[in-house]
Amino acid sequence: MTDATPIDLDPGRLTLAQCRSAIAGPVRLTLTGSAWRAVAASAATVERIAVEGRTVYGVNTGFGRLAQTRIDRADLGRLQRNLVLSHAAGIGPDLTDATVRLMLLLKINALARGHSGIRPETLESLIALLNADILPCVPAQGSVGASGDLAPLAHMAAVLLGVGRCRQHGEELDAANALERVGRHPADLAAKEGLALLNGTQTATALALHGMVAIENTFAAALVAGAMSVDAVKGSDAPFDDRLHALRGHSGQRDVAAILRHLLEGSAIRQSHLDCGRVQDPYSLRCQPQVMGACLDAIRHAAGLLAIEANAVSDNPIVFPDTDEVISGGNFHAEPVGFAADHLALAAAEIGALSERRIALLTDTAQSGLPAFLTDDPGLNSGFMIAHVTAAALASENKQAAHPSVTDSLPTSANQEDHVSMATHGARRLLTLADNTAGIVGIELLAAAQGIDFHRPMKSSVLLEQHHGRIRASVPRLEEDRTMAPDIEAAQQLVERGAFSSPAVDLLPSAAI
């Protein structure tokens, strides 16, 4: 078992770096003392409302279109149990452990702010599951992103009732055994607790954050691949001059240009052709700061939205203990998450599209000046010919997947919920987009490394030689045709593990401490 990363949480102040830790592996969460007092106060407010018999949505009424139906006080616990069980209607493959771990962390963070009416003992059960890394099995499909992620969060909440399945370190167990392992009994939910557990954007937000972290890794690797490709085809670093980018003014563009200059600094290959007759390189080389900078700005914008949402109270209704009020609203609507996911999808697709164009350049002897398809004996050997076809297939798949999700809406709950965000499946596609892009960038890294090999004994820069060595430690030079699938898989895994994050790591929003 991986050692758990400690998180000392002041609710509402969860950082992107802490979210990244939850994606990476087990965590050990503790809450500040003031959080427990806030949770108890909101639970007491709900209890007072129930005792007094005030009509409040979600406390003593039905849900959605059934909100006008008043529920007797004696049935309030049953109402909440029925809510959880009836809403556990998800379908499809289970979400990954990393995503569910982050879901739990986000839900705990939201509930612990003291505006949801949940009791301390119920919150303690969620924390006990998280700290034991016992993760509910949550079907991936079934949420439209409003009124919250009802179905997936219901599957998570059902475990507290002793219903459903969990995983712990790869072992599957039923919910009752999971609770027993952490010394808890199946819960008898009090008024509003089921609704507080189900309502919220934590599934969409966890999926978007998980996707963002994966896209960040591909972004960093694509900068390395792009710089290597510049040297492989004896391109120019003049387009990365800061004076050009300062005049335009986009921060992402300027930052990317600085990283590319840093990566190429001191390259002997670059020095060898300073006085060549080539006037301009193709856009896929020359316009990297403009395209990748726009992607970086999109990632940063999405990160800002998701950082806010990770700390949001997004259930309904919301409890205000200081004024003894419970107010119904629409904080569960995941439109901000949907926009963030769409921005990230566009960024991932464009990172891959630019990388694919550089692979095409590297394999085209008329443009690159390198042997056709990067092989010593073209004709007898096909070299990187079909590796480029694979990259093109992935890039095309990404284009289809990057279509915006928030522009779609399908009314639910007898038209009570008449506009929804579709944020959850918009966020869920991000891991697929990131996987595809990591495959494309992995192929470019292999191709660019092969191109640099053709310039030996000349060396690239110190940093690029280090990255070249990282590639060659996993994949030897392609001397003659062999099955390339294992090579591509190895390079893709390096990208996904963040092996090429340096020196771009300081640009990545979720890596900031």
Which residue intervals of the chain bear CATH 1.20.200.10?
208-311+356-409+419-511
Phi-psi region of 14 (alpha: psi -120 to 50; beta: other; left: phi over 0): beta
pLDDT value of position 471: 98
Does the annotation count 57 as an active-site position?
yes
pLDDT in tens, 206-224: 999 999 999 999 999 999 9
From 1.10.3430.10, 1.20.200.10, 2.40.30.20, 1.10.3720.10, which CATH number describes the 208-311+356-409+419-511 domain? 1.20.200.10
pLDDT value of position 64: 66
Whole-angstrom CA distances from 335 to 71, 148, 298 are 31, 10, 16
pLDDT in tens, 65-86: 666 778 788 888 888 999 999 9
pLDDT in tens, 163-190: 999 999 999 999 999 999 999 999 999 9
What CATH number is given for 5-200 in this structure? 1.10.275.10
Mean pLDDT across 308-326: 95
Q: Is the pLDDT of residue 20 over 90?
A: yes
> Among 24-28, 241-245, 338-342, 408-412, where is mean pLDDT lowest?
408-412
* Chain mean pLDDT for the chain: 94
CB burial of 369-407 (b: ≥16 within 10 Å; e: otherwise) equals ebbbbbbeeeeebebbbebbebbbebbebbeeebeebbe
pLDDT value of position 476: 98
pLDDT in tens, 429-465: 999 999 999 999 999 999 999 999 999 999 999 999 9
Q: Is the pLDDT of residue 493 over 80?
A: yes
- State phi, psi for 312 to the nearest 5 degrees: -85, 150
Q: Is the pLDDT of residue 414 over 80?
A: no
Asked if 34 and 11 count as a contact pair (C-beta separation under 8 A), the reply is no
The residue assigned the tokens 């770096």 is: 17
Angle CA 263–265–268, to nearest 5 = 115
Beta bridge partners of 70: 61
pLDDT value of position 66: 66
Q: Which is higher by pLDDT, 256 or 51?
A: 256
Mean pLDDT across 113-118: 97
Which residue intervals of the chain bear CATH 1.10.275.10?
5-200
Asked if 387 and 488 count as a contact pair (C-beta separation under 8 A), the reply is yes
pLDDT in tens, 90-109: 999 999 999 999 999 999 99
Q: Is the pLDDT of residue 512 over 60?
A: no
Whole-angstrom CA distances from 48 to 34, 81, 368 are 21, 20, 75
Mean pLDDT across 294-313: 97
Burial class (CB in 10 A: 0-12, 13-18, 19+), 239: buried
Question: What is this structure's pTM?
Answer: 0.95
As given in the structure block, the two tokens for residue 318 are 């919301």
Catalytic residue among 22, 23, 49, 57: 57
pLDDT in tens, 374-399: 999 999 999 999 999 999 999 999 99
Distance CA(67)–CA(56), nearest Å, equals 9
Distance CA(397)–CA(219), nearest Å, equals 18
Confidence of residue 513 (pLDDT cuts 50, 70, 90): very low
Confidence of residue 508 (pLDDT cuts 50, 70, 90): confident
